[in-house]
Amino acid sequence: MYREWVIQLNNFFRQKNKTEKLMTREIKKAYKRVANNLIKRLALVNPDTMTYDYLRQTAKYLEKEYKKLNKRLNKDIEKAIVNTVEGYTQSQVEFYSDLCKPLSSSFEDMFSKVNKQVLDNVTTGKMYGDNIKLSDRLWSNHNKTVKTINDILTDGFISGKNSKDIAKDLEVYCNPDYLKEYEKFTIHPKSKNKVEFNSYRLANTYINHAYQEATRQSAKHNPYVEKVEWLSGTDDNVCDLCKERNGKRFKVEDIPLDHPWPLGRCTLLPVIEENLEDIAKELKDWANGGKNEKLDKWFEAWEVKRWYQHTGIEKVLVIMLEECKE
């Protein structure tokens, strides 16, 4: 049984990594499209006679394009969050259903409610304690981008750069393919990152935090999971704090939030110390009508009814957990 559980988790992590890579590729493609349109717009005029006013108009054009891009990103990130959360909770459904087939419907009901709770916590900002929505964070990134674009124009003009050079600075900042040129730090000293970086950071941070929140909520009332183990990465990017946390077991209510991307790539592993065969037997006994206070509390916490099968004939027991205690 333990082997099957490990396989289910590994399948989830592979899918999560795939989602993160796909999200990163899609973000780059979106910003690349805007950059290509910028290049076409700049090519409409002679670079030697390009005016500063034309660059200001171009900045307004970019502001509108990035606003549209952010609306699309909001939908894409929300979809990635949903896929990640559902992927994790589905792995939990499969694991516990394998332990006790008669309770499959109950576990599906339970973890669908975990899904809703996690998605609400993540998208509304409850998870961070600031109640700032994903859309508001994207809007904040948009405002930073617009400010940087205007700063590139203003500072370039003040420093005596001609319009041709300012246009090139703008193109390098906006084009994801111009990484090496940007790393030389000759574009705009006030901006530490290229235009797409904040979107990468926000999307991948949300995906990782959504998974970790799903882990927390899934373990929250689970009588078999008292602690969650923190597993840090092994590459050079792992910070000292995460190295210190590596292998440490936290109570569910004490699990810290991981760093934002690109540093935040740690894994949370629910710790089940009881023998899985014993857990399976306990679940089956309870599914067949046996009394078990800790299982009553677990299912009651998610307002889930007890469903079971008997002698091959499916029976839906509309038994509220209060009745189970009688």
266 and 289 co-located in one domain = no
pLDDT recorded at residue 10: 85
68 and 40 co-located in one domain = yes
Q: What 3-state class would DSSP assign to 268?
A: strand
pLDDT recorded at residue 111: 94
171 and 231 co-located in one domain = no
pLDDT band at 310 (very low <50, low <70, confident <90, very high): very low
pLDDT band at 318 (very low <50, low <70, confident <90, very high): very low
119 and 146 co-located in one domain = yes
pLDDT band at 39 (very low <50, low <70, confident <90, very high): very high
Domain boundary pick from 143, 178, 198: 198
Nearest of 229, 226, 219, 227 to residue 301 by alpha carbon: 219
88 and 165 co-located in one domain = yes
Per-residue DSSP letter, 102? G
pLDDT recorded at residue 324: 44
- Label the pairing between strands 267-271 and 227-231: antiparallel
Residue 207 lies in a domain: no
Residue 320 lies in a domain: yes
d(CA 266, CA 292): 35
247 and 305 co-located in one domain = no
Answer yes or no: are the C-beta atoms of 83 and 128 closer than 8 Å: no
pLDDT recorded at residue 317: 41
d(CA 217, CA 41): 49
178 and 254 co-located in one domain = no
Domain boundary pick from 238, 255, 271: 271
pLDDT in tens, 132-155: 999 999 999 999 999 999 999 998
d(CA 270, CA 252): 9
- Who has greater pLDDT, 48 or 229? 229
238 and 165 co-located in one domain = no
pLDDT recorded at residue 239: 83
Number of domains in the chain: 3
H helices present in the chain, as ranges: 2-42, 52-99, 104-124, 134-158, 163-174, 179-183, 197-220, 240-245, 276-287, 293-301, 321-324
Name the percent of the chain lying above pLDDT 90.
Answer: 63
Handedness of CA 14, 15, 20, 21 (dihedral sign): positive
Is there a cis peptide before residue 256, judged by omega within 30 degrees of 0? no
Distances (CA, A) of 255 to 48, 248, 263: 58, 10, 17
316 and 244 co-located in one domain = no
180 and 300 co-located in one domain = no
30 and 78 co-located in one domain = yes
Tell me: pLDDT of 169 over 80: yes
Distances (CA, A) of 212 to 133, 140, 156, 183, 255: 18, 24, 44, 32, 9
Residue 209 lies in a domain: no
3 state SS for 135-167: HHHHHHHHHHHHHHHHHHHHHHHHCCCCHHHHH
Per-residue DSSP letter, 238? -
Burial of 313 (0-12, 13-18, 19+ CB in 10 A): exposed
Full residue range of the structural domain in which residue 290 is found: 276-324
Tell me: pLDDT of 51 over 50: yes
pLDDT band at 308 (very low <50, low <70, confident <90, very high): low
Q: What is the mean pLDDT of residues 254-265?
A: 82
d(CA 257, CA 192): 25
Residue 304 lies in a domain: yes
158 and 14 co-located in one domain = yes
Average pLDDT, the chain: 86
Residue 34 lies in a domain: yes
